[in-house]
Amino acid sequence: MTVVPPPVVELRGVAKWYRRSRPILRDVHLAVRPGEVVAVLGGNGAGKSTLLRIAAGLSRPSTGRVTGGPRPIGYVPDRFAAHQHMSALGYLTHLGRIRGLGGSTAQRQAARLLERLALVGGGRSALRTLSKGNTQKVALAQALLVPPRLLLLDEPWAGLDTAAGRVLGDLIAGVAAAGGAVLFTEHRTELVAATATAVLEIADGRIHPGGHRWAR
Ligand SMILES: Nc1ncnc2c1ncn2[C@@H]1O[C@H](COP(=O)(O)OP(=O)(O)OP(=O)(O)O)[C@@H](O)[C@H]1O
């Protein structure tokens, strides 16, 4: 008998609207379990980022419930502002310490991720000088400093070159293999097909199962 593990995060009957807005999400039911990599598709403005923010606990549903909310959560937002004068390595080390790592572990982990993602110019580069793709590498590294039980990625391939894109695929697979759950948004179907174990689509505020499961 196969035992289905409990969801890492679960949304039950979630709806979201902003003042005077149409409902962005309606009656969304979604469960992401350990080892799953779930892709959320949908057109511009469909509500994908809204869904991720709710799953992250950053935005409250107007109705419905979110259960789970494990720690640590890794979250890469659709826009990562990095205007600081700090270096990439200094910034990530600082964040790692805030998240409970010792100073040298935080620095080692930050350096390892930046090297793996091949941050151009290296970790000493000031954040505000980084190109879009290199800023995205820092955004990804901050989400992975502490191995997340839930990894939420909003269009994580945006701006990445091919090599870094492949590394991202490996990092996502690594989180899932370690028993983490991953929920990501993406428009490019080839990236979804190569990465996701399940696909959902948001249309009219409702979640529609993609129906297709791609074997890894
Ligand atoms: N704070 C807010 N106040 C009012 N409306 C908002 C707010 N945040 C998002 N919206 C609206 O909610 C809708 C869904 O936005 P969301 O960013 O979730 O879409 P998305 O599917 O991620 O879009 P894209 O693919 O363009 O990134 C949009 O119409 C947007 O304008």
- Structure token digits, residue 153: 């990625």
Q: Which of 24, 51, 78, 186 to mutate to test the pocket of ligand 1 (most atoms within 8 A of CB)?
A: 24
7 lines ligand 1 (CB under 6 A): no
- Based on the domain organization, do 14 and 66 belong to the same domain? yes
78 lines ligand 1 (CB under 6 A): yes
Per-residue pLDDT tens over the stretch 34-72: 999 999 999 999 999 999 999 999 999 999 999 997 889
- Based on the domain organization, do 109 and 151 belong to the same domain? no
- Based on the domain organization, do 22 and 129 belong to the same domain? no
Instruction: Give me the helices (H) in 26-80, please.
Output: 48-56
- Based on the domain organization, do 28 and 47 belong to the same domain? yes
- Based on the domain organization, do 7 and 65 belong to the same domain? yes
- Based on the domain organization, do 52 and 4 belong to the same domain? yes
Q: In degrees rounded to 5, what are phi and psi of residue 14? A: -80, 130
Instruction: Tell me whether residue 45 is in a domain.
Output: yes
- Based on the domain organization, do 151 and 141 belong to the same domain? no
54 lines ligand 1 (CB under 6 A): no
Q: If you measure from the C-alpha of residue 24 to the centroid of ligand 1, how many angstroms do you get, rounded to a whole number?
A: 8
Q: State the total domains in the chain.
A: 2
Domain that holds residue 20: 1-72+147-216
What's this model's pTM, rounded to 2 decimal places?
Answer: 0.94
Burial of 161: CB neighbours in 10 Å, binned 0-12, 13-18, 19+: middle
Per-residue pLDDT tens over the stretch 97-129: 999 999 999 999 999 999 999 999 889 999 999
Where does a domain end: 111, 126, 145? 145
Return the percentage of the chain with pLDDT > 70, whole number: 96
C-alpha gyration radius of the chain: 17
CA distances from 131 to 81, 136, 154 (A): 12, 9, 18
What is the mean predicted confidence (pLDDT) over 150-165?
97
Left, alpha or beta for 207 (phi > 0: left; psi -120 to 50: alpha)?
A: beta
